[in-house]
Amino acid sequence: QKEVEQDPGPLSVPEGAIVSLNCTYSNSAFQYFMWYRQYSRKGPELLMYTYSSGNKEDGRFTAQVDKSSKYISLFIRDSQPSDSATYLCAMRNTGTASKLTFGTGTRLQVTL
């Protein structure tokens, strides 16, 4: 079983919809949680970065972390066709040389 589980999708939504993306994890040492967006044939681009439990909002994006349930979410409001991409959750512990552990990625398609 992988340390980080993420539904690969694909997830198809109409333009303007609210999108909910989720990951679960098993390693309780993870303290930092990230969401990356990856367009086809591009490298991952950081969207959101949160520490421990709680919510963080940035424009149309909201990240939530529930450490008690080992569950993280990314919400996208007013989704746009330009949001069509693969969304990767990533997490790491507090070590000084902290590699990221990624989920599989969820492929999102926002249709007109």
Partner 1 sequence: GAGVSQSPRYKVAKRGQDVALRCDPISGHVSLFWYQQALGQGPEFLTYFQNEAQLDKSGLPSDRFFAERPEGSVSTLKIQRTQQEDSAVYLCASSGTTGTDTQYFGPGTRLTVL
Residue 22 interacts with partner 1 (CB under 8 A): yes or no = no
Options 43, 68, 82, 112; binder of partner 1; rule CB under 8 A: 43
Cα–Cα distances in angstroms (integers) from residue 77 to residues 13, 28, 98, in the given order: 12, 29, 31
| One-letter amino acid for residue 27 of the chain | N
> Which of 15, 45, 57, 58: binder of partner 1 (CB under 8 A)?
45
Distance between CA 45 and CA 87 in Å, rounded?
A: 9
| Cα 27 to Cα 92: distance, rounded to the nearest angstrom | 9
How many residues bind partner 1 (CB under 8 A)? The answer is: 27
Query: What's the closest the beta carbon of residue 110 comes to partner 1, in angstroms?
Result: 20
Binding mask 65-104 for partner 1 (x = CB under 8 A): -----------------------x-x-x-xxxxxxxxxxx
**10 Å Cβ neighbour count for 78?**
12
